[in-house]
Amino acid sequence: MKIAASVLLAVCAVALARADDGYRLWLRYDRMTQTPLHAAYAEAASTIVLASPVAEDSATGAAVSAELNQGLGGLLGVTPQIRRETVQSHPDLGDEGYAIDWERRDGHPAFVITANRNVGVLYGAFALLRELRLGRPLDHFALRSTPRIQRRMLDHWDNLNRTVERGYAGGSLWEWFVLPNFESPRYRDYARACASVGLNGAVVTNVNADALVLTPEWLSKVAALASAFRPYGVRVYLTARFSAPLEIGGLKTADPLDPAVAAWWRAKAREIHELIPDFGGFLVKANSEGQPGPQSYGRSHADGANMLADALAPVGGIVLWRAFVYEADARRDRCMQAYDEFEPYDGKFRPNVVVQIKNGPLDFQPREPFHPLFGAMPRTPLALEVQITQEYLGQGTHLAFLAPLWKETLDSDTFRPGRGSTVARVVDGSLSHNPISVIAGVANTGTDRNWTGHPLAQANWYAFGRLAWDHTLSSAQIASEWTHLTFGDDPRVTAPLERMLLESRETVVDYMDPLGLTGVFAEGHHYGPEPWLDKGRPDWTSVYYHHADSKGLGFDRTQSGSNALEQYAPVIAGIWRDEATCPEDLILWFHHVAWDRTMASGRPFWDEFCRHYQHGVDTVRGWRRTWDSLKAYVDPETHAHVSSLLAIQERDACWWRDASLLYFQTFSGRPLPPGVEPPAHDLPYYRAIQLHWMPGDPSGK
Ligand code: GCW
């Protein structure tokens, strides 16, 4: 007896000390502590009724059963009896929605998941497990949920050589060389994680596209990925290189109005559909950053998109046509060019074309105003594209929880046609009653064992899925859910960690580019500061964006400058146009602000600007202390990993502060205000820093 007990203790100790490699993401299903609530859960969870009008589809049905068995077994030690019932369809639940009820069946409590399709049952199963894990009271189990946006997608910038453009978590998950013969179990685990947060689409290839993926040999590999994802409701999409008819089709042109070109794409769409019956469609980056497109043939974006749309319509596919375009010579403010190019084509796209727009008019900066196109194309379905991967927010090493950034865009009011016309309502289609709605996040996944490199960056994958499903959720709720699912319920851990997550995006803004500053990132890899960058193509320099001079700092986008404000509704443009009413967190985006301008705090602009950098550094230092204090309560491997990354983040925050302030001080000529630490080195030291072989850098140098 004595021996048995000590063996048991030893086993427990080993289990506790076992390092957690992060592979399980937020789907841990560790046993919950026993409370009366959990006993009641266990009783109800021993019978799960799956109520649906459709017959069980074996693959998704098996995924549901597997999830419930694993989840309920793990959380509660219960092996559920899973019963299927055929019921009438529930129109209010749509194709993907679900209801979860706690009812009495045959005198016993049971959970009933109702949905019209198997994938809805699957989403319901994940929701049930999440809510149990989060401790929802039983009498609150009358849940109804339907997604607000139909296509909730991850865009992978994965190359066929398995590098990932702007990827900071290792290589591409797709093992192209051994596909289709070998299907890595990770494909299933990837799709399962996506489904657990409601994501239902994956563009598996980079928008800087390679036509090779459209050849028969490669399509068979894509088909294998599609079949691994299918049970979890994740449809595959591909990027289409516009010049593919030339490169792999033997044609002499890719002119979208050439009948042979259109016929080639029609045949290609049919070929893909035969291999992948639920193929989602094409994502296209055209006439942007060197990618080919219809303008190479004197045709418009609409000509190009419509030609592909006609090819895909017979097989039920859509075209996601990106609006991330700007001309090479940049005579006009770069941030105005996408609007110039797309707005005239509103209403001229086929019904199965969606124009995909980045959250801001520049390029995934830590803070930008919302893209003016969201208020300008009421007759076109518009997709919101955000970056989950942190190209401009510290990449793989900085903590930056991005729900607040995405919410800021989604909640922005375009005031077109009137108040309440938020970006969220444009994107979810409710404003213009568009039949298609899409949201896309550039993925942060890779071959790292923990999927996302930075252990806390898992929160961004989670948050994107949750917001894509329901953009009305708050950042705080999402942060809380993720923290509890990932780190358990000890408030000594969850409270400080949630606080860190919620502060983090603003903190990165503070030490990188406060008060609406943008475009100050190092050339190529975009990791550190390079505000002095003034060589090369003008709109790829930093000086193009910050306009620092002896008078002040910032890009004048009022009538006296580029007048980019004219692209916004008069109400919002009016607020932003006046320096006195423009929110300070965007002031340098819209105005050239004098160094001595008095800010809301009463301080001169220069002092305020400097204090933001210092505040960013101080906050990261505070996180390090907080994180150290959690050591006893967090898995050791994760704790050590995050500790090291926070040390890097502090080092980099100091680097950003010192390099930026020394550089801008050459224009302001003012001393650092009290409380801002003097830089550790001089400006030439920072200007000489060069980083090589940075992860995710397509130039590879
Ligand atoms: O943010 C920029 C990136 C490019 C990227 C481009 C785009 C895929 O620096 O690497 O290319 O945006 O969105 O097309």
Is residue 206's pLDDT more than 70? yes
Strand partners, 553: 593
Angle at 445 between CA 443 and CA 449, to 5 degrees: 170
By CB atoms closer than 10 A (0-12, 13-18, 19+), residue 12 is exposed
Which CATH superfamily groups domain 151-473? Glycosidases (3.20.20.80)
- Spell out the domain ranges in the chain: 21-145, 151-473, 509-555+592-687
Which ligand 1 atom is the nearest neighbour of the CA of 285?
A: 14
Do the strands 281-284 and 318-322 form a parallel or antiparallel pair, or are they unpaired? parallel
Atom 1 (ligand 1): residue with closest C-alpha?
363
Instruction: Give residue 268 CA to ligand 1 midpoint distance, Å.
Output: 26
Instruction: Give residue 400 CA to ligand 1 midpoint distance, Å.
Output: 19
- Pocket perturbation via mutation, ligand 1, pick of 155, 156, 158, 166 by most ligand atoms within 8 A of CB: 166
Q: Which sign, positive or negative, has the C-alpha torsion 127, 133, 136, 139? A: positive
* Closest CA relative to residue 342, chosen from 321, 318, 328, 363: 321
Q: Report DSSP letters for 274-333, one per residue.
A: HH-TT--EEEE--SSTT---GGGGT--HHHHHHHHHHHHGGGT-EEEEE-----SS--S-
Is residue 5's pLDDT more than 60? no
Atom 13 (ligand 1): residue with closest C-alpha?
324
Which ligand 1 atom is the nearest neighbour of the CA of 157?
A: 8
Q: Report DSSP letters for 15-27, one per residue.
A: HHHSPP-STTTT-
Tens-place pLDDT, residues 538-554 = 999 999 999 999 999 99
Is residue 121's pLDDT more than 70? yes
**Whole-number Å distance between alpha carbons of 233 and 67:** 14
What is the mean predicted confidence (pLDDT) over 62-81? 97
Segment (H or E) for 423: helix 423-427
Q: What six digits make up the tokens of 646?
A: 């926070």
* Closest CA relative to residue 637, chosen from 16, 6, 10: 16
Instruction: Give residue 695 CA to ligand 1 midpoint distance, Å.
Output: 14
% of the chain at pLDDT higher than 90: 92
What burial letters (b/e) apply to 150-160, b meaning 16+ CB within 10 Å?
bbbbbbbbbbb
CA–CA distances in Å: residue 603 to residues 508, 600, 606, 609? 22, 7, 8, 10
Instruction: Give residue 55 CA to ligand 1 midpoint distance, Å.
Output: 44
- E strand residue ranges, 67-118: 81-86, 98-105, 108-114
Q: Report DSSP letters for 645-687, one per residue.
A: HHHHHHHHHHHHHHHHHHHHHHHH--PPPTTSPPPSS-HHHHH
% of the chain at pLDDT higher than 70: 97
Q: Which residues line ligand 1 (CB under 6 A)?
A: 157, 165-166, 207-208, 285, 289, 324, 363-364, 391, 698
Query: For residue 632, what is the DSSP state?
Result: G
Is residue 622's pLDDT more than 50? yes
Confidence of residue 328 (pLDDT cuts 50, 70, 90): low
Instruction: Give residue 557 CA to ligand 1 midpoint distance, Å.
Output: 24
* Closest CA relative to residue 585, chosen from 305, 322, 292, 366: 366
Query: For residue 135, what is the DSSP state?
Result: T
For residue 677, indicate whether it is catalytic. Answer: no
Q: What six digits make up the tokens of 548?
A: 């620092």
What is the mean predicted confidence (pLDDT) over 672-698? 97
Phi then psi for 110, rounded to 5 degrees? -155, 155
Q: What six digits make up the tokens of 602?
A: 């009463």
Tens-place pLDDT, residues 360-403 = 999 999 999 999 999 999 999 999 999 999 999 999 999 999 99
Which ligand 1 atom is the nearest neighbour of the CA of 206?
A: 8
**Whole-number Å distance between alpha carbons of 252 and 195:** 42
Q: Among residues 289, 490, 549, 628, which one is catalytic?
A: 289
**Whole-number Å distance between alpha carbons of 173 and 461:** 15
Q: Among residues 368, 391, 481, 513, which one is catalytic?
A: 391
Confidence of residue 2 (pLDDT cuts 50, 70, 90): very low
Confidence of residue 34 (pLDDT cuts 50, 70, 90): confident
- Tokens 């990132």 locate to 521
Predicted pLDDT of residue 330: 66
Which CATH superfamily groups domain 21-145? Chitobiase/beta-hexosaminidase domain 2-like (3.30.379.10)
Instruction: Give residue 307 CA to ligand 1 midpoint distance, Å.
Output: 25
**Whole-number Å distance between alpha carbons of 503 and 404:** 9
Which stretch of 23-37, 69-83, 273-287, 616-630 has the lowest confidence by average pLDDT?
Answer: 23-37
Confidence of residue 327 (pLDDT cuts 50, 70, 90): confident
Instruction: Give residue 324 CA to ligand 1 midpoint distance, Å.
Output: 9
Which ligand 1 atom is the nearest neighbour of the CA of 289?
A: 14
Which ligand 1 atom is the nearest neighbour of the CA of 358?
A: 13
Instruction: Give residue 655 CA to ligand 1 midpoint distance, Å.
Output: 25
Which ligand 1 atom is the nearest neighbour of the CA of 288?
A: 14
* Closest CA relative to residue 682, chosen from 658, 698, 654: 658
Predicted pLDDT of residue 33: 82
Is residue 419's pLDDT more than 50? yes
Q: Which residues contact 4 (CB under 8 A, 6 or more apart)?
A: none
- Bond into 417 cis (ω within 30): yes
Atom 12 (ligand 1): residue with closest C-alpha?
363
Atom 3 (ligand 1): residue with closest C-alpha?
166
Which ligand 1 atom is the nearest neighbour of the CA of 207?
A: 8
- Pocket perturbation via mutation, ligand 1, pick of 156, 157, 242, 321 by most ligand atoms within 8 A of CB: 157
* Closest CA relative to residue 590, chosen from 403, 335, 254: 335
Segment (H or E) for 353: strand 353-358
Atom 11 (ligand 1): residue with closest C-alpha?
208
User: Are 354 and 410 in contact, with CB atoms under 8 Å apart?
Assistant: no
Predicted pLDDT of residue 529: 98
Which ligand 1 atom is the nearest neighbour of the CA of 166?
A: 10
What is the mean predicted confidence (pLDDT) over 510-525? 98
Confidence of residue 633 (pLDDT cuts 50, 70, 90): very high
Query: How much is the mean pLDDT over the chain?
Result: 95
Predicted pLDDT of residue 12: 41
What is the mean predicted confidence (pLDDT) over 42-54? 94
**Whole-number Å distance between alpha carbons of 91 and 640:** 50
Instruction: Give residue 644 CA to ligand 1 midpoint distance, Å.
Output: 28
* Closest CA relative to residue 506, chosen from 610, 367, 375: 367
For residue 289, indicate whether it is catalytic. Answer: yes
What is the mean predicted confidence (pLDDT) over 513-532? 98
CB-based contacts of 641-649 (< 8 A; 24+ apart in sequence): 641/455, 642/454, 642/455, 642/456, 645/397, 645/398, 645/399, 645/454, 645/455, 646/399, 646/620, 648/397, 648/398, 649/394, 649/397, 649/398, 649/399, 649/620, 649/623
Which ligand 1 atom is the nearest neighbour of the CA of 698?
A: 10
Atom 2 (ligand 1): residue with closest C-alpha?
363
Predicted pLDDT of residue 18: 53
Confidence of residue 172 (pLDDT cuts 50, 70, 90): very high
Query: For residue 694, what is the DSSP state?
Result: -
Strand partners, 158: 164
Instruction: Give residue 539 CA to ligand 1 midpoint distance, Å.
Output: 14
- Pocket perturbation via mutation, ligand 1, pick of 159, 283, 289, 322 by most ligand atoms within 8 A of CB: 289
- For residues 458 and 107, which has the higher predicted lDDT (pLDDT)? 458
Q: What six digits make up the tokens of 10?
A: 């030893």
User: Are 394 and 417 in contact, with CB atoms under 8 Å apart?
Assistant: no
Is residue 1's pLDDT more than 70? no
Is residue 47's pLDDT more than 60? yes
What kind of fold does domain 509-555+592-687 have according to CATH? Alpha-d-glucuronidase, C-terminal Domain (3.90.1330)
* HSE-up (13 A, CA, CB side) for residue 114: 20
**Whole-number Å distance between alpha carbons of 234 and 507:** 34
Predicted pLDDT of residue 17: 42
For residue 183, indicate whether it is catalytic. Answer: no
User: Are 243 and 201 in contact, with CB atoms under 8 Å apart?
Assistant: no
Segment (H or E) for 465: helix 458-469
Phi then psi for 319, rounded to 5 degrees? -110, 125
- Pocket perturbation via mutation, ligand 1, pick of 324, 393, 697 by most ligand atoms within 8 A of CB: 324
Is residue 356's pLDDT more than 60? yes
Predicted pLDDT of residue 329: 61
What is the mean predicted confidence (pLDDT) over 225-246? 98
Predicted pLDDT of residue 700: 72
User: Are 514 and 606 in contact, with CB atoms under 8 Å apart?
Assistant: no
Q: Among residues 303, 363, 408, 607, which one is catalytic?
A: 363
**Whole-number Å distance between alpha carbons of 293 and 255:** 9
Instruction: Give residue 698 CA to ligand 1 midpoint distance, Å.
Output: 9
Confidence of residue 9 (pLDDT cuts 50, 70, 90): very low
